[in-house]
A = this chain, B = another copy of it.
Amino acid sequence: MTADPRFFDLITPSLLLDEAKMMRNIDRLADHAQGLGVSLRPHLKTAKSVDVARRLLPAGDGPATVSTLAEAETFSTAGVRDILYAVGIAPQKLPRVVALRASGCDLSVILDNVVQAEEVAKASREAGVPIPVLIEIDCDGHRGGLRPDDPLLINIGRILHQGGAELRGVMTHAGESYTVVGNEAHAKFAEIERAAAVDAAKALRAADLPCPVVSVGSTPTAHAARDLTGVTELRAGVYVFFDLVMAGIGVCQKEDIALSVLTTVIGHQTDRDWTMVDAGWMAMSRDRGTADQAVDQGYGVVCDEAGTILPDLILSSANQEHGIITRRSGATSPMPDLPVGTRLRILPNHACATAAQHSHFTVIPAEPYSALIEWPRFGGW
């Protein structure tokens, strides 16, 4: 492999982003959503980057999903004006929601219980501004939300609608779709999402409550959905970069993964067939999302500096700033020669978790041989 001169001065570990792969991933889901006749509301929690958001949101100002109010505030300042904050609202956070709405951002929140509904209604009345709400629906027992036939759904709808908030609709997320493999299995979860959300919307409407928005999605179900009748919008996040967890359940190929960590070989323990690198869990995250999959990728799949996968090599263990590369058990290919100073790339298990360990992306532009670019990331709450 020939060393890429653009990497000479890069500090390792560094988070690399392949812009061409990212753009293909973005276009793939945008096309699919268009074919299904639904709006796409990308989740910005994976990238936490204004530069990536500009490429994810062709209209520039939304719609978008976020996982923290810090994201809502940063993206709103950058011009995103239609944002769903998709974590159940803590009452203490309502002043920030009101402030964001007052600044001109159409921020909506989610909730699934009476205390939250009463607090949102109260905050709406006190601010004189109806806070828009999607009621969270539980479609697969994964996390929060109400079952579509739970009588509480109507109670909460009334508290919001009659109490001064804006009942904007329902939303659900089939987190369990990550645990099954293949398009057919993901399509079934897409239908589970659709059915739960549409049933909840029907229940609200039957009680004379408004429900204009019916929002569903996860990266596996969004790509596999075949019919979204009754759904108005689709949400997904990790698809912008993809990762080994998504490759492991068949949503993408490993070659589609746009994110990797550049690292340098710092030593060997030859009797143990170990190659030591300067990317440990601080650079990769502690995420072991492939541990329960058919192929356990350790802390990541090893590529050469150009991004070509090296057969059977994984980052099999990680300390804070040390990684140990070994051959996968049962590997037949010989250990390649990787002298001290060699640069390698590691594909991550989980793009959201790995990206969160870094302050910026080092972008390899889609245009061949162009200079690397830095795109800042942010964190916090």
Interface membership of A175, Cβ < 8 A: yes
Residue A140 lies at the interface, judged by CB distance under 8 Å to chain B: no
A267: contacting residue among B45, B69, B88, B324, CB under 8 A: B88
In the assembly, what is the distance between CA of A143 and CA of B111, in Å? 47
Min Cβ gap A145→B in Å is: 8
0 or 1 for each of A1-24: is its CB under 8 Å from B? (1 = yes): 000000010011110000000000
Interface stretch of the complex, out of A164-172, A201-209, A285-293: A285-293
A319–B267 CB distance below 8 A: no
Report, as a range, how many residues of chain A touch the other chain: 35 or more
Tell me which of A49-57, A121-129, A241-249, A351-359 binds B: A351-359
Interface residue? A322 (CB, 8 A): yes
Determine if A359 and B380 form an interchain contact, defined as CB atoms under 8 angstroms apart. yes
Shortest Cβ distance from A7 into chain B, in angstroms? 10
* A278 is an interface residue with CB less than 8 A from chain B: yes
Contact B143 A45 (CB under 8 A): no
Question: Which chain B residues border A92 with CB–CB below 8 Å?
Answer: 8, 12, 264, 341
When the two chains form their complex, are residues B269 and A144 in contact, meaning their CB atoms are under 8 A apart? yes
Query: Does chain B have a CB within 8 A of A90?
Result: yes
Query: Which residue from chain B places its CB closest to the CB of A237 in the assembled complex?
Result: B320
Are B281 and A67 neighbours in the complex by a CB distance under 8 Å?
Answer: no
A87 and B322 within 8 A (CB): yes
A69 to B358, CA, bound (A): 15
Cα of A113 to Cα of B266 in the assembled complex, Å? 9
A91 within 8 A of B: yes
Q: Given the complex of chains A and B, what is the CA–CA distance between A320 and B43 in angstroms?
A: 12
The residues of B that contact A319 with a CB separation of less than 8 Å are 143, 175
Check: A340 CB closer than 8 A to any chain B CB: yes
Minimum CB–CB distance from A265 to chain B (whole Å) comes to 8
* A295, B129: Cα distance in complex, Å: 49
Whether A115 lies near B276 (C-beta < 8 A) is no
- Distance in angstroms from A326 CB to nearest chain B CB is 13
In the bound assembly, the distance between CA atoms of A67 and B143 in angstroms comes to 37
A89 within 8 A of B: yes
Complex Cα spacing A65 to B90, Å: 40
Q: Decide if A39 is an interface residue (CB 8 Å cutoff).
A: no
Chosen A-B contacts, 8 in total, with CB atoms closer than 8 Å, are A11-B381, A12-B90, A87-B266, A90-B264, A90-B340, A112-B267, A119-B341, A143-B319
Given A12-B90, A12-B92, A356-B357, 6 more A-B residue pairs with CB atoms under 8 Å apart are: A11-B69, A67-B282, A68-B321, A90-B340, A91-B341, A359-B379
